[in-house]
């Protein structure tokens, strides 16, 4: 199906999470037109699910140097120190900015503290040596997203397209336009009408979020299919460090309540991880065997420790014990988590919370600098789909919301500085229409989509999860090669639907994770390969880069 219409804007933003809306807000300040495309409702995103908070130096007892050091330590020798420092030092201004837009963070007074009640209540999470996590109860992401939705919705030069999914990027390499690869916009599917159209713009910002749905068990919502990374790869952008997939250690273990994250902030308030040493025995602490910070160790350490204990004991979950706090305190500090646990028939003030690890955050992504510049001219990437160098081999808790607020401002400043060039190098419209998705015939084999979707997620969990080996990775590689061939043939033969676009993206991201994991012959941060259970000093700060050669109309 060929796109049958062209829409023009100065800027395109793909994704409506915190990074996407912050990008739109900053870009719109110049008075230029901005389009925001989001595959479902504007506030349906990963950002809204974030419970913990924003890591930021806001207390006189804390310093930028300490925040930087905690980030570098968690990142296991893979962070870009300059990027870390730049983002960390820009944090307070980003906090002031979003507060001015209406976001509200919890204060000490709201939690009943009488000393300095007007100060922010700063939490502590795994890997942090100081209390520096601002939060809005235990729904921080939802509060920040609310504030940005309200702010962006008031801007007359921003157009929001809900229920629109980006299929591919418009790039010069695909259109056979000579010169350096340049992004001119995107091909968009209206999921309500089925119409496909082309959107051209001076710049395109990809802010599509994470890829948790590549795995069977995840804390992410259904929309997290890795579309930004997949589109960037197909367009020829450099993709970095996709082997570093963070598994959140504590997702609620329950037969019907899925993907509900139990925030690391509980451990910051003293919750302790416990496991039954044998069936029917009383659960006991175990993290002292794995790390000196015990239950507050970095997430990669905690996730592997839980996985190890579950395999050693044969138990299906471990437990969080926060019973040292009163019910009144827990209801006030963690109202959303408390309510969800009650729904699971667990009163966390009196009972242990059953938890398991689940895929949570992608530390790799489209390779960018701290201003969101990718290897494709005119294409920017922000948020979880980008790899700025902040997170390294393991993300420090609550640094992601910080990055989502800081990098879009840098990107908008960079774009405005280069705007004359971007406006003067747009392609001929006819060239942009030289693209097709296939024959547009209806399919009677929709079972292929659901079957391949389930198979990819299951073998990614089994073979490319917390614990990897070369043999497991090779098995996964063999399977994904076959499935990708099936999907590509299906894609070019039948009508494009949202499900098919997401399946195509999931398969692309899965192969990128597998290939990146096969390239790294060591264990570092979130990537643990039992065949190489050691750090290779020569691999420190060496990115795993994968880039596709692009040419032709596809």
Let me know: does 412 contact 29? Beta carbons within 8 Å. Answer: yes
Distance of CA 143 to the CA centre of its chain: 18
Neighbours of 150 (CB within 10 A): 13
Catalytic-labelled residue, pool 85, 267, 276, 299? 299
Beta strand ranges found along 212-352 (DSSP E): 239-240, 245-252, 272-275, 284-285, 318-321
Q: What is the full DSSP assignment across 111-154?
A: GT--SSTTSB--B--TT-SS--EE-STT-HHHHHHHHHHHHHHT
Query: Cβ contacts of residue 468 below 8 Å, gap of 6+?
Result: 517, 527, 528, 529, 530
Order across the sheet with 239-240: list the strands. Answer: 386-387, 365-367, 239-240, 545-546
Residue 290, token pair as written in the block: 């794995």
What whole-number distance in Å separates Cα of residue 45 and Cα of residue 215? 17
What's the CA gap between 113 and 117, in Å, rounded?
A: 6
Phi, psi of 383 (to 5 degrees): 80, -155
Contacts of residue 532, Cβ cutoff 8 Å, sequence gap at least 6: 521, 522, 523
**Catalytic residue flag (residue 312):** no
User: CB-based contacts of 359: which residues, under 8 Å, 6+ apart?
Assistant: 212, 214, 215, 217, 218, 219, 220, 245, 246, 247, 248, 461, 465
CA atoms within 13 Å, Cβ hemisphere of 78: 31
Number of Cβ atoms within 10 Å of the Cβ of 31: 9
Alpha carbon 199 to chain centroid, angstroms: 25
Q: How far apart are CA 389 and CA 85, in angstroms?
A: 11
**CA 134 – CA 57 distance, rounded (Å):** 9
Catalytic residues: 299
């Amino acid at each position: 199906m060929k796109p049958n219409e062209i829409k023009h804007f100065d800027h395109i933003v793909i994704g409506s999470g915190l990074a996407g809306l912050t990008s739109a807000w900053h870009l719109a300040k110049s008075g230029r037109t901005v389009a925001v495309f989001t595959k479902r409702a504007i506030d349906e995103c990963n950002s809204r699910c974030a419970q913990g908070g924003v890591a930021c130096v806001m207390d006189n007892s804390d310093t930028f140097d300490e925040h930087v050091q905690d980030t570098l330590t968690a990142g296991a020798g893979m962070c870009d120190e300059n990027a870390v420092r730049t983002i960390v030092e820009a944090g307070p201004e980003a906090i002031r900015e979003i507060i001015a837009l209406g976001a509200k963070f919890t204060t000490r007074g709201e939690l009943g503290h009488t000393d300095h009640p007007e100060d922010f209540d700063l939490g502590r999470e795994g890997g942090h040596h100081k209390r520096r996590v601002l939060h809005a109860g235990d729904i921080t992401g939802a509060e920040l997203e609310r504030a940005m939705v309200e702010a962006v919705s008031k801007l007359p030069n921003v157009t929001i397209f809900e229920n629109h999914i980006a299929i591919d990027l418009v790039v010069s390499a695909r259109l056979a336009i000579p010169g350096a690869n340049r992004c001119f916009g995107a091909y968009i599917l209206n999921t309500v009408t089925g119409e496909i159209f082309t959107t051209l713009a001076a710049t395109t910002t990809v802010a599509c979020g994470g890829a948790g749905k590549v795995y069977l068990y995840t804390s992410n919502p259904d929309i997290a299919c890795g579309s930004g990374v997949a589109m960037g790869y197909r367009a020829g952008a450099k993709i970095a460090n996709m082997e570093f997939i963070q598994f959140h250690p504590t997702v609620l273990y329950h037969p019907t309540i899925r993907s509900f994250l139990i925030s690391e902030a509980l451990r910051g308030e003293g919750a302790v991880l416990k496991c039954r040493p044998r069936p029917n025995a009383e659960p006991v602490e175990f993290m002292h065997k794995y790390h000196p910070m015990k239950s507050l160790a970095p997430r990669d350490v905690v996730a592997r420790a839980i996985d190890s204990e579950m395999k050693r004991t044969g138990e299906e979950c471990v437990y969080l014990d926060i019973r040292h706090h009163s019910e009144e305190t827990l209801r006030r500090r963690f109202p959303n988590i408390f309510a969800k646990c009650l729904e699971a028939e667990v009163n966390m003030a009196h009972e242990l919370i059953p938890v398991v690890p689940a895929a949570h955050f992608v530390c790799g992504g489209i390779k960018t600098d701290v201003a969101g510049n990718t290897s494709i001219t005119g294409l920017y990437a922000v948020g979880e789909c980008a790899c700025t160098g902040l997170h390294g081999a393991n993300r420090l808790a609550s640094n992601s919301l910080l990055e989502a607020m800081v990098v879009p401002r840098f990107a908008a400043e960079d774009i405005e500085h280069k705007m004359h060039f971007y406006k003067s190098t747009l392609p001929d419209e006819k060239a942009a229409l030289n693209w097709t998705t296939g024959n547009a015939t209806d399919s009677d084999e929709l079972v292929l989509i659901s079957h391949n979707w389930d198979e990819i997620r299951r073998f990614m969990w089994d073979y490319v999860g917390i614990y990897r080996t070369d043999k497991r990775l090779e098995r996964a590689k063999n399977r994904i090669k076959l499935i990708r061939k099936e999907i590509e043939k299906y894609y070019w033969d039948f009508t494009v639907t949202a499900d098919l676009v997401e399946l195509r993206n999931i398969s692309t991201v899965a192969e990128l994770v597998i290939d990146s994991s096969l390239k790294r012959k060591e264990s570092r941060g979130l990537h643990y390969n039992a065949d190489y259970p050691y750090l290779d000093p020569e691999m420190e700060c060496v990115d795993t880069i994968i880039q596709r050669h692009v040419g032709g109309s596809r």
